[in-house]
Structure 1
Amino acid sequence: MDSHYKTAEQEALEQLDPLSSVPTFQGVVGRLIGWVDTLFTTLAVLALVAIAGTVMLQIAARLFLPFSVSWTEELSRYLFIYMVALSVGVVLRQHRHVSVELFHHILGPRSRAAYQALICLLIAGFAAVVLPYAWQYAQNGTWQTSPTLRVPMLYIFFSTVVMFALLLVYGAIGFLEGLAAIFRSPERTEPEKP
């Protein structure tokens, strides 16, 4: 029953997202990438849980305390920024970003792989161009502190460095997976079915 469920899930995912049929890396490299995906997903989920806790604290303070806790809004904003920055690579790898899919379903397996390679190359190239400027932007926060929490803004602005670095790395991974899928033999181009 578990293998039938996995097969049905894979088929449904391929109908919703044709690029998910492009094979990913397997073996040691695939497991390493999977662990990194799990790490960043966990960090993003922890940031989301912290946002929920912070907002609940703010609501409880407004209802039950005679004073308002002023730092909760600022903290929830910074947590949201880091949640997005930490999850951007995994979102790119799993094809969960916003995209317009006009012709993906009519492409063959090799064309889908070539399309993925092209898109990931463009994203990685853009991230490589912007990354040095993101670092310069982060360094502007060295002399500033946040209004309520008094945290150096370097740590907040550093989220842009994290985001573009992850886009660069995950764009390169997607590009290499697309290239590998293009040059695979035709019988190995289709994803393995259990």
Structure 2
Amino acid sequence: MKFLRYVLFGLAATGLALMVSALFLQVVSRELRWAVDWTEELGRFSFITMVFLAAAYGTLTKSHLRVSVFSDFIGRKIGVRKIDFLHTAILLGFAATMAYFSWYNFVDGLRYPNTSAALRFNQNHLFIGMSLGFAIIFALHLRDLVVLLRGGELDISTKELGDE
């Protein structure tokens, strides 16, 4: 998990740095009246890819936002374990659906390309990042399901992340 955490963090950070650099260059080029049309597309493409890889990183480290008022209330009534099973099942289904349809859109985009104006880049290739991000999220929630089925809890320790 430590290796995956570093890879996801590195890829997301690279995407963020690329996006910020492209947008900075776009602002400078507008002031200097340079024609750098590709910076807007590069910023947008790197942002889209970064979001899905960062979502996988957030899922891995359990650092994503979660609204838990309702589930905590119900958990006190019927048990936290049942709520954890329900959350995990819903998240598995959502991640599987998103991974499948994003991959389907990527494959469909190979037959019917949607090419960007400045970079001449098939924009359907962006679905690779989306599909990869959701496939990783699916695998992480599948791991959570196995932990629950073995009688464990979903709290993640720093030891599991490789911080110790």
TMscore range, shorter length: 0.7 to 0.9
Q: Tell me the matched-pair count.
A: 154
Residue 41 of structure 1 corresponds to which residue in structure 2? 9
Q: Is the 8 A contact 1:123 1:171 kept in 2?
A: yes
Distance 1:93 1:178 in 2: 16
Q: TM-score, normalised by structure 1?
A: 0.66
The structure having more radius of gyration, on CA atoms, is: 1
Q: Is the 8 A contact 1:85 1:163 kept in 2?
A: yes
Give the unaligned 5+ runs of structure 1.
1-32
Distance 1:94 1:141 in 2: 32
Which letter maps to 2:18?
Answer: A
Distance 1:178 1:113 in 2: 8
Percent of paired sites with the same residue: 24
For residue 106 of structure 1, report the CA deviation from its aligned partner.
9.8
Which letter maps to 1:174?
Answer: D
Give the unaligned 5+ runs of structure 2.
159-163
Distance 1:134 1:158 in 2: 7
For residue 183 of structure 1, report the CA deviation from its aligned partner.
4.4
Which of 143, 152, 159 pairs up with 1:173?
A: 143
Q: In angstroms, what is the RMSD of aligned CA positions?
A: 3.1
Residues 122-161 of structure 1: matches in 2 within 5 Å? 122-142=90-110, 143-161=113-131
Which letter maps to 2:144?
Answer: G
For residue 113 of structure 1, report the CA deviation from its aligned partner.
5.4
Residue 80 of structure 1 corresponds to which residue in structure 2? 47
Matched position secondary structure for 1:144: coil
Distance 2:9 2:81 in 1: 25
Which letter maps to 2:127?
Answer: F
Which letter maps to 1:124?
Answer: L
Q: TM-score, normalised by structure 2?
A: 0.76
Residue 30 of structure 1 corresponds to which residue in structure 2? none
Matched, 1:91 2:61: no
User: Residue by residue, what CA displacement relative to the aligned partner does 1:127-158 show, whole Å, maximum 9, x if unpaired?
Assistant: 22343322221123222322211112232232
